[in-house]
Chains A and B, each alone.
Chain A
Amino acid sequence: MNKLLETIKNYALSVIMPVIMIILLLIVSPETRSANAIISLLRQGFAPAVLGWGVLFNMKAGNWDFSIGARFVLGSILAGNLAMSLHLGMPGFIVLALVISLVLSTIVGFAYKLLRIPTLIVSIGICLIFESITRILYGGAGVHVSSEYMLFGKSPYDVIAFAVCFGIAAYIYYKRKLGYNVRAVGTNPVVAQTNGINAVTTKTNALIVSGLFAGLYCILSLSKTGVCAAVSGTLGSAATVFDAMMCVLIGMAICGKGNIIFSLYSGALIAQILKMGMMAIGLPTTYNKVVIALFVILFMVSSTRGDVFDGLKNRLFHKTKTV
């Protein structure tokens, strides 16, 4: 009984927050008041959550990787076009998307390992290169896949694919040595190093693993939309990265002692509902972005500066506050 209560407590926020957001959406947007609309809403969070898991490994390891968006775009263009031109079908597309994504992330990982400069700089540099390549390949036309390659956009395949991705993420994060090392290095690299964990290798591996999720995101995203356009070469893919980061930050903020992989899906759901809610109330796109940005900052503060909220709580309840 105690264990059950503990589990409920651990997951409470991750479940309650999206539920509250859904209720709010139902209030502001009457057209979403149907079972189908809500199920569709729950599916909206699948793809962003998958990319978010990739970003999670990076953020937890202390990497700031801005190349994951460019890797997704380049991976989608290469895998989609190659699969179609070689008539490889869905299995071939899946293999290509994963292999290309892993190759691209390995390039980022080894560039970091070799250069030993902050991941932020390495990833921005490589992001610009990858983005430029997307403008060169196939005349900058991006990719437009046929319906044959959009299997995972349909029910129940999208749910199955999401469940498989969830399993992979949870398995790597909680069951593999890499997951332990990522958490250790991200929290305290000095202690991790003293315990024989190689911080640089762990950060490199986290970058590579994020490639796996970028590849899975390629598959889910192309299955859903069928299209991926080339990006500008001036950090045009950053929006994808920020969207994923937002899922991670919300996930971390509501996770508590629960499962971060699950919380991150909740985070993705909240982010999607936020966007839909703003559209529903007719907020112009510019303001829409302002609100999203404010939410990112708010969740960033709550996940990295717990003391701000503790201080607020303590002041309200007359406890100590560090200035």
Chain B
Amino acid sequence: MRQEIKLVFAWAVLCLAARPAAAAIPDWVRQAADQTLPSYSTETNAVVLLDATEITILSADEHIEHYRRAVKILRQEGRQEAHVGVTFRGQDKVLSVHAWGRDSAGHEYELKDKDFLERNSFTEVLYSDIRRRAASIPGAGPGSILAFEYEVRRHTWVNQLQWFLQEDVPVRATTYSAQFPAGWEYRDSWSGVPLAKAIENGGHVEWTVRDLPAIEHEPMMPHILSLSARMDITYFVPGNPGFVPASWDGLGKWYSALANGRRTITPEIADKTHQLLAGKTSFDDKLRTLASFVQGEVRYVAIEIGIGGHQPHYAADIFRARYGDCKDKVTLLSTMLQEAGIRSYYVLIDTDRGFVKPSLPSSLSNHAILAVELPDDAKNQAYHSVVTLKNGKRYLLFDPTNPYLPVGWMAGYLQDSYALLVTDDGGELVHTPILPPEQNTLLRNGHFVLDSSGALSGEIVEERSGDRASSERGALLHVDQQNRTQHWERRLSGSLQDFTLQNVSVEQLEDFQKNLLLTYHFVAPQYGQARGPLMLVRPRVLGIMSFDIDRKPRHNPVEFDDVTRETDTYEIEVPADYVVDDVPEPVKLDLGFASYQSKIEVQGKKIRYWREYLLRQPALPPDHIADLRKLEGIIGGDENSAVVLKKVTP
């Protein structure tokens, strides 16, 4: 009998073990799930019920992060919230990770540590020590509750923490708290008006904010992290110089110390510098020569391990290997300039406008460029990307990572941004200039002959400068001739149908100091639309400046790629047996941030079309969206307008 009972018991245990254990959903999840929610729009995918970060500072470079998150899915699209994970670096240690789910029918699920996979993606970074423990929570669907919790011991390089409060879904409650060792202090900084007051209790500080709206995704908008409300915390021991102060100057000092010794000149670097600069005496010549070398000869390869995300490699190593990331290229160029007697400094910037904020002195940025000290006699007009520090010294900003933009230019995504210029004794926040639209141009000039059948033949010469040249160079230099031809055919097909591209010539493709010139020769047999005695001819032969902008109310600023000037000048000789019968009215609109004008003139047998589009600002506040729509409507209408020719009776 006892044996039989034993056997029955063992069988029962096996059966029980064969089933998944009941999910042990913690109380904090249940409490978050049980709250009454306000109503949300039908397009709201999910709502964050609770987002709570708790930091325990252990030492100057180590802390424990404990995170909790609970989300309710409202729509199918909210299912993506089920994909959760914790990101960590080489010296970090994930202490625990856990997730739970409760579907709309009340079934409960639990994921433990072993259920999480370590995932990474193939990226352009050759290697980094960033990893991710991730999983998909079961039961995700409208009405379900998902929760996630982890604890990580993190190693930090700077005594700062960042709290991004907003997401692309509404947040019901978000909390950030920090526990400091006795005697430590902190300072909190906000991106705008502080959204919460700190509640302090014996070294423990906590902030809570409720009912934050979602940052909706809209086309042509800034990065969500640039828009999100944000708080930074800098913590320190009063009087202890080992901590980075919460100031741009302090961060400058920190970075200066980090990069100390990296720009040491070696005989090899010196030799190469002198070899390149043989016969060159002017500041401009020296700068352009060395800049071209680093742009062209040093490949961009990112390898980021530990502090390597902040600290550049040694100039000698970069020079020998001939590759490096953005801060490495800056390091090598700065070293070579130093050998040439030109002083230069690191500039820490972010490629997303608005991410670096004056009120938030922070090490968080994703790019490094160079500030070259201008001689007193250097004229600003010669260079467009110049900033002036408080001490009156002028610096030319240059990005050696961009292989195609020469000295004096700056890519659109770096303009109108804040950046930290690391000086000899600290740092200063600068605001990068908006280059004039005339420095970033696309100018098209075309001459055509139209015959009686409506066939148009001729050529367009396209001249590009600034970013417009840089992007086209990038597209052309990476592909072979066949792909280039297809690239141009695709471009022309936006404005022409049934055309034959006879030839394209490219000039100054690899001379990045000069504008890029493209000449297209083509024939479009059915360009003019014959209508009995009439013929319709669209004078805007090529070039689409109109764009789609939806008509929903706008919440976020509109961000353009860059400021620019674009012109089209086309001359079309009409057939001998036709005269111009009707010409569209000229167009002129200036809205401040942008302007557009066009006119058509008839000179003998020639129609001359000219238009200009000027975009003066890289971004537009959301309350100006009506202006943008008006502009687009004018451009769209003008681009499709036509001249009417009439056949003359012999």
Binding between chains A and B: no
* A interface residues, Cβ below 8 angstroms from B: none
